[in-house]
Structure 1
Amino acid sequence: MLSARLVLREIPRCNMLLQNRINIPPSILNYSSSSKVNDKEDDVFLRVKVQPIVRENESLDNKRARLIYQSRKRGILETDLLLSRFAAAYLKTMTPEELDEYDSLLNELDWDIYYWATRNYRTSPLPEKWKNSKILERLQEFSQNKEKEILRMPTLDRFK
């Protein structure tokens, strides 16, 4: 079994190889580690955050369609359910500025979005840029499921 120290030592070298091989800017490949997390030594956290694609002159209809897809197809069931239901409820009525903010939120990592939406800041601290976010505030309110509904993926006709 590889030790965490070996993995940590090799990550920068792998980053260099990836950058040289496929021309990835250094700012995209990030990792962090801690010598002591949850009272365990040598835990390694690999956080790869890919920079979002810059979309110029995207129509509001195309943006809404893309955000529907990105809300439904996250890869983590909990986040899929939460964001797809939120998008079905609010995406139609969002202003262009709110759509931009929601688009920016969707560029965050899935578990971070989930923990922020459920106000679990011990697991994933809320960054300064999201502390006054109206969209995140609305998502947090929505995530409480005050109606106590059984959560299911909304059908696509709910987005029309």
Structure 2
Amino acid sequence: MDEANRKRIIYRSKQRGWLEVDLLLGRWASENVMQLSSDQLQQYEDILNEETIDIFNYISGKCSVPKRLDTPMMKRLQEYCLTSPLGKASIEGFAENKKFMSN
């Protein structure tokens, strides 16, 4: 996938419409999307095509992940959510990561 499409995916990750998901996916995408393989990128895009509330519930472990999305990429995002300060409510964490949210 070309650079323009990868940048589009990063933008979609940052603009979900729900702050928690914008922060989690936006930061993760900014740090990782440019290095993903084609298969990994497709798995990530499949996740992005879900409703925002569902994405949050899946990556935070609040709901079980449907079989079609139970991929290595989902596991990677779940691990990131569990270990990232962005996975927890924090004013300091928001302020620190705000720079990753600019388009």
Q: Determine if the TM-score, normalized by the shorter chain, exceeds 0.5.
A: yes
Relative to total residues, which structure has the larger strand share, 1 or 2? 1
Sort the TM-score into its range (normalised by shorter chain): 0.7 to 0.9
Deviation digits for residues 5-50 of structure 1, max 9, x if unmatched? xxxxxxxxxxxxxxxxxxxxxxxxxxxxxxxxxxxxxxxxxxxxxx
- Higher RCO (C-alpha under 8 Å, 6+ residues apart): 2
2:68 alignment partner, one of 129, 133, 141: 129
Q: Quick check: 1:116–1:140 contact (8 Å CA) kept in 2?
A: yes
2:19 alignment partner, one of 49, 68, 77: 77
1:100 maps to: 42
- TM normalised by structure 1 equals 0.53
Deviation at 1:88, TM superposition (A): 1.5
Q: Which is greater in Rg?
A: 1
Residue correspondences, number? 94
State the identity %: 29
CA root-mean-square deviation: 1.9
Pairing 1:1-150 to 2, within 5 Å after superposition:
59-121=1-63, 125-131=64-70, 133-146=71-84, 148=85, 150=93
Deviation digits for residues 90-129 of structure 1, max 9, x if unmatched? 11210011111111110000010011001111xxx42111
Q: Quick check: 1:117–1:140 contact (8 Å CA) kept in 2?
A: yes
Q: Secondary structure at the match of 2:83?
A: coil
Q: For residues 46 and 69 of structure 2, what CA distance do their matches in structure 1 show? A: 10
Relative to total residues, which structure has the larger helix share, 1 or 2? 2
Deviation at 1:145, TM superposition (A): 2.9
Q: For residues 115 and 105 of structure 1, what CA distance do their matches in structure 2 show? A: 12
